[in-house]
Amino acid sequence: MNTATLWLRGRSITVGSDWRFCEARIRIKGRRCFSSSPMTLVLSSMPYEKELAAAKKAATLAARLCQKVQKALLQSDVHSKSDKSPVTVADYGSQALVSLILERELPAEPFSLVAEEDSGDLRKESGQDTLKRITELVNDTLASEGSNGFSTLTTNDLLTAIDNGKSEGGSVGRHWVLDPIDGTKGFVRGDQYAIALALLDEGKVVLGVLACPNLPLASIGSNQQHSSNEVGCLFFAKVGDGTYMQALGGSTQTRVHVCDIDNPEEASFFESFEAAHTSHGLSSSIAEKLGVKAPPVRIDSQAKYGALSRGDGAIYLRFPHKGYREKIWDHAAGSIVVTEAGGICMDAAGNPLDFSKGKFLDVVSGIIVTNQKLMPSLLRAVKEALNAEASSL
């Protein structure tokens, strides 16, 4: 019997001799992949293929723009390093590029993008110089792609591209989710940052791309020694298809997997470099209860998810301080990169992350990420540490 796998609401349906039943379901859901012939159903068995190709292209180009700005920033003097404008320029530039590339590569799809920036400040008189700089930078980056898909963009084109990121997301339809520079603090310090792009379909993350321009291609786990110090990684994953990594500058892709450690004594964990973004004290108490011996590996951005997906470490702990609400663009791409590599992402109470509620992720206490084997003991350690913290207040 011939079969094909169809994807609906992020779940697969195997279509066999009863394909007519599936066709009826697809029609009822109003999806575009319905067909009156089994042949077309088989063709639709490569879900999100062109979306992934477009996302990789967009994130790679945005990374090129950010690298250029970071290089200039690090070469600048101390005075201009305290100036926020390079980050602003790279943030807006990255968002505009991703928005433009996705729209160009996927012209047949309705376009919805949930992203961090809007053009409000750039439309003010005081933003005009910055707007010109961003437009120039985006035009230069597109020219370096060697593509003739765009004529020279005007400042108005730029504003429109940025404002295409105004969507609110949600549980209906498709939405791209973008953090144009995740880890701006790391970007300014010359450390890790990422361009994080994901696609939601009916509220579920179905693909994710993480471009990490400063992440070594070799493992960054503790006790690792490598001869190569080449940096720049592109991680990508699509639902049901595994996670892959390649060099940002181009190389063959390698499938990656989370580590299979089941003894916490051999595990190491990642957390934010910035103490303002997560409670280092709570992580240390969780690690102690779990029996982790290694010191934390502290790096910025969703590069942590990328590193975890290839087994550089075993655990990622994130416990923002009271009152902070996580945003979907800080976790959407990272979460699928880890889960497709065999890991699990949950909130501190063991709930799966729900990306269907708009811009915010409502999580209980924090986010924990690890492999299947360690998750049960990690959840117990988290519960104990949170209880101990509550009773000490």
Question: Which does residue 324 bind out of ligand AMP, Mg ion, none, counting CB within 5 to 8 angstroms by kind?
Answer: ligand AMP
Q: Residue 193's closest CA among 367, 339, 52, 71? A: 71
* Three-class secondary structure of residue 39 per DSSP: helix
Question: Which does residue 340 bind out of ligand AMP, Mg ion, none, counting CB within 5 to 8 angstroms by kind?
Answer: none
- Residue 274 makes contact with ligand AMP by CB under 6 A: yes
- Residue 91 makes contact with ligand AMP by CB under 6 A: no
Site string for ligand AMP, 152-181 (x = CB under 6 A): ---------------------------x--
| Token reading at 70 | 């970071």
Nearer to ligand AMP, 52 or 66 (CB): 66
Site string for ligand AMP, 175-214 (x = CB under 6 A): ----x--xx--x----------------------------
- Residue 330 makes contact with Mg ion by CB under 5 A: yes
- Report which DSSP code applies to 264: G
- Report which DSSP code applies to 17: T
Residue 156: what are its φ and ψ, rounded to 5°? -65, -40
Minimum distance between the CB of residue 213 and ligand AMP, rounded to whole angstroms?
14
Residue the block writes with tokens 């509220």: 203
Segments of the chain assigned E as strands: 4-8, 11-15, 113-115, 174-182, 194-201, 204-216, 231-238, 243-247, 254-256, 269-271, 297-298, 315-318, 326-327, 343-347, 360-361, 367-371
* Three-class secondary structure of residue 240 per DSSP: coil
Candidate residues 56, 277, 289, 310; the one interacting with ligand AMP per rule CB under 6 A = 277
Minimum distance between the CB of residue 301 and ligand AMP, rounded to whole angstroms?
4
Using CB under 6 A as the binding rule, the residues of this chain from 280 to 319 that contact ligand AMP are 300-301
Query: Candidates 66-74, 324-332, 359-367, 374-382 — which segment interacts with ligand AMP by CB under 6 A?
Result: 324-332
Helix axis angle for 85-105 and 128-144, nearest 10°, is 50
- Residue 95 makes contact with ligand AMP by CB under 6 A: no
Contact residues: Mg ion, CB under 5 A: 179, 182, 330
